[in-house]
Amino acid sequence: MTEQEFIAVLAPLVEEITGNVFSLDQLDITFGDLDIDSLNQIEIISRVEDEFDCRLEDGVLRTIRTPRGLLEHISKTISPA
């Protein structure tokens, strides 16, 4: 999965939840700084998991702080080790 493929899925979700446009240069900004609270973060992660047909372990979910962190964990899950 490329960053662009990830952004194509994530950007509409962030815009839906926050009303703000999300772009590639915001991958390293924390979800909190993007005005995404923990409940909305869980919703975003769940919908991204559904889109890429994968599941992250609960322990991993608690460590994700930025969109790039989510991208990296999703990439590990859908890519062969």
Closest among 8, 6, 31, 29 to 18, alpha carbons compared: 31
Q: What per-residue confidence (pLDDT) applies to 79?
A: 64
Query: Which domain, by its residues, includes 59?
Result: 3-78
Q: 80 pLDDT exceeds 70?
A: no
Mean pLDDT of 14-30: 94
Q: Report the number of distinct structural domains present in the chain.
A: 1
- Quote the pTM value: 0.89
Q: How far apart are CA 23 and CA 27, in angstroms?
A: 8
How many angstroms from the chain centroid is the CA of residue 9?
Answer: 9
Q: How far apart are CA 37 and CA 5, in angstroms?
A: 24
Q: What is the pLDDT of residues 50-75, one digit of tens each?
A: 999 999 998 898 899 999 999 999 99
Report yes or no: 7 and 24 within 8 Å, Cβ to Cβ: yes
Tokens read off for 66: 């930025």
The helix/strand/coil state of 35 is: coil
Residue 49 sits in a domain whose CATH number is 1.10.1200.10
Closest among 16, 18, 11 to 35, alpha carbons compared: 18
